[in-house]
Amino acid sequence: MKFLSVAKAYVVWFVWLLLSRILPLFSLKVNYLLSTVCSRLFYTFDRRWRNTVEKDICKLFGDRIDKNKIKKVVRSSFDIFFKRQVENIIFETFTKERVNSMVSFEGIENLEGVLREGKGAILLLSHFGSFLLPPLALGHRGYKVFQVGKEPINRTLDRKIFELRKSAMDKLPINFIQSSQYLGSVVKALKGNGIVVIAFDGRAGNKFIPVNFFDRIAEFSPGPFRLAIRTGATILPTFTVRKKDDHHRIIIEPPLELEITNDNEETLKINTVKYVKIFERYLLDYPCHFAMILYSLGRAVERGLNRPLFVDRES
């Protein structure tokens, strides 16, 4: 079984490497068309995958999404997933001109206002939509951007793909900081009035706080809030929404006003909940932007690669 697993990993790695050489030969429009074809095929024929995604959505949202719309959400989540995979594979080809044609900013003035204060900005993203685009788009605009990320567990496939993507990142206007590194690297970036990009729903960290997340209980790291309190940097909730024409709206929300109490743990929980409420608003408007992330997180937990997002008992 272990031999088959390793063999499968190398096959997937070979396909990824091959696609990274072939897909850049085509226009982004053609790549999106190819990804749509793949999406429809998998949605149609992989019943187990489709049903699992639908089940995950129903568990999280409960009655908040009309039952008649669930299948449409699942179908859209497949489209978004495959298009995001294509974007990830050809990420290093995203020149300034290409990125500018792909995205538009809403709320860039919120970021500018924070940077004028000179204490740095924490761009708090989530694995929602094409979440890799905001740091790249800002980097191409000349901003000092630092992406905090987690290295994969030492596993053949994940390690090789990580190294390929890391190599691509090094060629782009983004500075990569491993989450396992000393916190001083992040603090230094903020003291230099840089933009530090952190995934709110990332699984890296030592301490997590359980909070209500729609109909479930999820754990999130309070690290970004602890960092903001320590450095005086401002947190900007940021989300990327894919439009029907595949243009991306990068929305930078107004600064998150932190509530400080005499109890440090209570302070962290209050502000974690504040961000969750903003996150929930976007999820209700665009559930298809997160549905496949739920699936991926679940599979990663099954393989022992990540700590779970949810800590409640599944019914």
Query: Tell me: the pLDDT tens digits for 6-43?
Result: 566 667 777 878 898 899 999 999 999 999 999 999 99
β-bridge mates for residue 175, sequence order: 146
Helix (H, G, I), strand (E, B) or coil at 176: strand
Helix (H, G, I), strand (E, B) or coil at 236: strand
DSSP state of 160: H
Does this model's pTM top 0.85? My answer is: yes
pLDDT tens-digit series, residues 197-240: 999 999 887 789 999 999 899 999 999 999 999 999 999 999 99
Backbone angles phi, psi at 263, to 5 degrees: -105, 115
Q: Please say whether the beta carbons of 196 and 121 come within 8 A.
A: yes
Q: Is residue 73 part of a domain?
A: yes
How far apart, in whole angstroms, are the C-alpha atoms of residue 292 and residue 76?
Answer: 10
In a domain, 310, yes or no: no
Name which of 178, 106, 92 is nearest 136 in CA terms. 92
Residues 197 and 139: their CA atoms lie apart, in Å, by 11
* Bridge-based pairing state of the strands 195-199 and 145-149: parallel
What is residue 92's DSSP assignment?
G
Return d(Cα 52, Cα 70) in angstroms, integer: 12
User: If you average pLDDT over every residue of the chain, what do you get?
Assistant: 90
Beta strand 216-220 pairing with 145-149: unpaired
CA distance linking residue 20 with residue 232, whole number of Å: 41
Rounded Cα gap, residues 239 and 285, in angstroms: 12
Can you give the CATH number for the domain in which 167 is found? Answer: 3.40.1130
DSSP state of 246: S
- Structural domain including 130 reads 2-302
Q: Are 102 and 248 in contact (CB under 8 A)?
A: yes
Residue 71 located in a structural domain: yes
Give residue 2's pLDDT band: very low, low, confident or very high (50, 70, 90).
Answer: low
Q: If pLDDT is split at 50, 70 and 90, which confidence band does 5 have? A: low
pLDDT score at 9: 61
Asked, for residue 80, whether it belongs to a domain, the answer is: yes
Reported as type and span, the H/E element at residue 54 is helix 47-61
The sign of the dihedral angle between the CA atoms of 165, 166, 169, 170 is negative
Concatenating the DSSP letter of every residue in 181-198 gives S-THHHHHHHHTT-EEEE
Nearest to residue 76, comparing CAs of 47, 109, 54, 106? 54
In a domain, 311, yes or no: no
Distance CA 284, CA 241 (A): 13
Q: Are strands 216-220 and 209-213 parallel, antiparallel or unpaired?
A: antiparallel
Identify the residue with better confidence: 83 or 159. Answer: 83
Does residue 262 lie in a domain region?
Answer: yes
Q: Is 108 exposed, middle or buried (0-12, 13-18, 19+ CB in 10 A)?
A: middle
Give how many domains the chain has, as a whole number. Answer: 1
255 in any annotated domain: yes
